Chains A and B, each alone.
Chain A
């Protein structure tokens, strides 16, 4: 299987939950976790409380979390790097490299005083790598969670630089990855045509997103994103691709109405202009900690069970390992136990499909899933959606979906200006040179 070539010690895991548990153990239980209920939260708190005082940060782990943004503890890149530099500095020892030089090396010089919440995905990845670079001065080991889910090929050389830096100091490092995560295979789904060919039209006109909060406006800071106009008819499933941080998720959130905007952002499928629904990349946030009975409190015969079981059956067929852990909807319906990431994705998708919405968008559908599970999940959703006349838009920087997609568009972002007083970006959506139109 073609994949990123490396010789870094790597532990592979079948599920996101197993990987996160191992990672939490590795960095002494202090990484943020996605709480699936008050009970889980309380257990975490008790564990932390009983272990307080045990940690010895001076000899601790340097780490990058499975969402790199989670390991950045301060408000701006300057602070993150300065904090890492201070932590790594030791009296009577050589100081680590100057943070400014490290920022330059990782392409962050122009973003040092920009708020972290306005950094793109690519800038966030580079900042996490730069921080880990500085922490080499005091770390006993570096552990990186799920790197191939957030690293794009454009950032591979920076990652290699980080690895070489740790090796040159004789510091151990280890990767925790999901099964198949490092694969760069385009996908084996090219010969499996969509059950029903579907088309949809989108129209983006004079679109402008205001990402600032009310408090930003109070302090005369704005974060504006302008989107170049575009109108066309596309075949489903459509893949919106592009490197880390090019604005793919912003486009998806706008189409789904999750972001406030001015201008026009409309999608029209077979069923007319109905709502566009979005499955967030970070589906844990989307669940708002609700359990199965809270998320699906409808009647017994509302179609959710049929949609859920249809998706589950395809996954069981294509990814038997994950399929074995998936119960039928009827067995799970009244069970308030925390949902696994895969169960949550299936349930939220089923809820959207029974509403027969206009278009379904899956933002980074592979996030947190092993490659076999992700491929099975997407194939199942596309089939179930097309059976119901709902076109699908996939958003991903991975090549896994290129053979499955019937149309591909590339999203790219240009920074017009950025600084402490606000940012202005422009997003373009173009036909992908190598993909179907």
Chain B
């Protein structure tokens, strides 16, 4: 599929979720407080992302979404549930107070995150970067900002993430975790696994952020050194 049609299709698919309009009637409830409409929309979005960007891409964005969901939505739900329990409610009642809200939130993120990632990935940033330095009379300050943004984005996508994946593959970090998880373990073993997994993810995250930022001063200097575009033809090549 060509870039522009893909971008248009993804944008049309994203209109409901970013405007709060639902293309489907709410209908009956799948779970208490959760109607069919949002569920169908999530399925439509995931199917659309798979269709426009490929199943491999969908698998990756769903994995990223799951990571965000587990830390933001489920942790939020857990805190809310504990607060309700502390207020003297039984476990079941405490769960029903905000349960539907958090399930709805999870569904919303299941459509927002894959769509946002798909739209960003569909924009050909590297080609955009190549167009910015074609002139021979310098560049405008707006182009400098855009150049810096595109540079950082491309560096993260094409250098930082592949480098980290190479290290994780070589060290079999994920395989070690999955093998450990498949073994029967008591609550203490699960706790230890959880702590190790969390520590590893934090380490990968911090390392990724630092690797992303590492070159910014260098690029800032180089991009800042580019001359402002001149109105007259001072810079014609000899």
Contact = CB atoms under 8 A, between A and B. Distances in A.
Contacts of B218: 30-32, 70-71, 73
A253 B166 contact: yes
A248 B90 CA distance: 63
Contacts of A260: 169
Contact of A257 (B60, B122, B170): B170
A38 B206 contact: yes
A275 B162 CA distance: 21
A253 B3 CA distance: 32
Interface string B196-238: 0001000110110011011101110111111100100011011
Interface in A42-79: 48, 55, 57-58, 60, 70-71, 73-76, 78-79
Interface residues of A, number: 58
Interface stretch (B22-30, B67-75, B104-112, B152-160): B152-160
Contact of A83 (B172, B206, B215, B222): B222
A95 interface: yes
Contacts of B126: 75, 115
B130 A86 contact: no
B124 interface: yes
A70 B170 contact: no
Contacts of A33: 214
Contact of B203 (A87, A113, A258, A288): A288
A419 to B, nearest CB: 12
Interface in A80-119: 82-83, 86-87, 89, 91-92, 94-95, 98, 113, 115, 117
A259 B134 contact: no
B138 interface: yes
Interface stretch (B40-48, B51-59, B76-84, B92-100): B51-59
Interface string B114-152: 000000011010110110111010110000000100110
B157 A420 contact: no
Interface stretch (A211-219, A308-316, A399-407): A211-219
A70 B169 contact: no
Contacts, number: 149
Contacts of A57: 221, 224-225
Nearest to B219: A73
Q: Is the interface of B mostly helix, strand, loop or mixed?
A: helix
Of A30, A86, A94, A213, most buried by chain B (CB within 10 Å of CB) is A86
Interface in B156-181: 157-159, 161-164, 166-167, 169-170, 172
B129 A74 contact: yes
Interface residues of B, number: 61
Interface string A157-179: 00000000000000000000000
Contacts of A256: 170
B146 to A, nearest CB: 13
B163 A285 contact: yes
Interface string A126-169: 00000000000000000000000000000000000000000000
A290 interface: yes
Given A30-B218, A117-B159, A289-B207, 19 more contacts: A30-B217, A30-B221, A41-B210, A57-B225, A71-B218, A74-B133, A83-B226, A86-B138, A89-B235, A92-B234, A113-B130, A214-B54, A214-B56, A214-B57, A258-B167, A258-B170, A259-B169, A286-B170, A290-B203
The 3 tightest CB contacts between A and B, nearest first, are A73-B222, A258-B170, A57-B225
Interface of A: 29-35, 38, 41, 48, 55, 57-58, 60, 70-71, 73-76, 78-79, 82-83, 86-87, 89, 91-92, 94-95, 98, 113, 115, 117, 213-215, 217-219, 253, 256-260, 275, 277-278, 280, 285-286, 288-290, 294, 420
8 contacts: A30-B218, A38-B206, A57-B224, A76-B130, A79-B130, A86-B235, A278-B170, A286-B167
